[in-house]
């Protein structure tokens, strides 16, 4: 008689493989046809996908078009199971409107709060946020960066901010 592994073991291995694949894609690990998503860790790569290059130019780059209230620029953010955001720094133009597309790639529930750095650090009620982003969920939040900042983003799920799950918004004139 052949012994079979418990079903939970097989499902756990499949889930671990899926999480590894998604995290690898999020940080730009090349597959057989190159990176499947933009390399979110490279210069200018936090700017979203362009139709040909996979990236849109960032502030200060030739061809950059800042987001507006009627046409926000999309910035993709990955919330990882290592309690980090990728990228950890986003560059915006003063007055620009940005839609953050946040995806949680691990089995941990996260949140995403963005706004003035002091309000984000203090988890001030009323600061714009997305709560309860579960595994493989994709949610968005649009924010206009009025003034020079400082601005930030963070996850205040229990213990996440304390573990370093926060990022900065660099505002350029």
CATH assignment at residue 165: 2.60.40.420
Q: What is the pLDDT of residue 63?
A: 80
Is residue 29 packed enough to be buried (19+ CB in 10 Å), middle (13-18) or exposed (0-12)?
middle
Q: How far is the C-alpha of 133 from the C-alpha of 101, rounded, in Å?
A: 11
DSSP SS3 for 159: coil
Residue 34 lies in a domain: no
Residue 22 lies in a domain: no
Residue 54 lies in domain: 39-172
Q: Please confirm whether the linkage preceding 87 is cis (ω < 30° from 0).
A: yes
Residue 94 lies in a domain: yes
Residue 45 lies in a domain: yes
- What is the number of domains present in the chain? 1
Contact 89, 168 (CB under 8 A): yes
Residue 138 lies in a domain: yes
Q: What is the pLDDT of residue 32?
A: 33
The two most distant CA atoms of the chain are separated, in Å, by: 72
Residue 49's alpha-carbon distances to 38, 53, 108, in angstroms, are 7, 8, 26
Q: How far is the C-alpha of 105 from the C-alpha of 19, rounded, in Å?
A: 6
- DSSP at 30: E
Q: How far is the C-alpha of 45 from the C-alpha of 83, rounded, in Å?
A: 20
**pLDDT by position in tens, the chain (length 173):** 555 555 544 444 444 454 444 444 444 433 333 333 333 333 333 334 333 334 556 787 888 889 999 999 999 999 999 999 999 999 999 999 999 999 999 899 999 999 999 999 999 999 999 999 999 999 999 999 998 889 999 999 999 999 999 999 999 98
Q: Phi/psi of residue 157, each to 5°?
A: -60, 150
Residue 114 lies in a domain: yes
Q: What is the pLDDT of residue 62?
A: 83
């Amino acid at each position: 008689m052949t012994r079979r592994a418990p079903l939970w073991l097989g499902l756990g291995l499949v889930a671990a493989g899926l999480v590894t694949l998604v995290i690898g894609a999020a940080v730009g690990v090349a597959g057989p046809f190159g990176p499947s998503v933009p390399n979110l860790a490279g210069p200018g790569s936090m700017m979203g996908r362009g139709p040909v290059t996979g990236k849109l130019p960032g502030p200060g780059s030739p061809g950059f078009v800042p987001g507006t209230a009627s046409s926000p620029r999309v910035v993709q953010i990955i919330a990882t199971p290592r309690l980090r955001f990728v990228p950890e720094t986003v560059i915006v133009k003063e007055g620009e409107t940005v839609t953050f597309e946040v995806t949680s790639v691990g089995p941990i529930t996260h949140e995403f709060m963005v706004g003035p750095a002091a309000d984000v650090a203090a988890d001030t009620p009323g600061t714009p946020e997305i709560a309860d982003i579960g595994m493989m969920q994709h949610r968005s939040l649009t924010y206009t960066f009025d003034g020079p900042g400082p601005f930030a983003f963070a996850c205040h799920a229990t213990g996440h901010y304390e573990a370093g799950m926060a990022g900065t918004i660099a505002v350029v004139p």
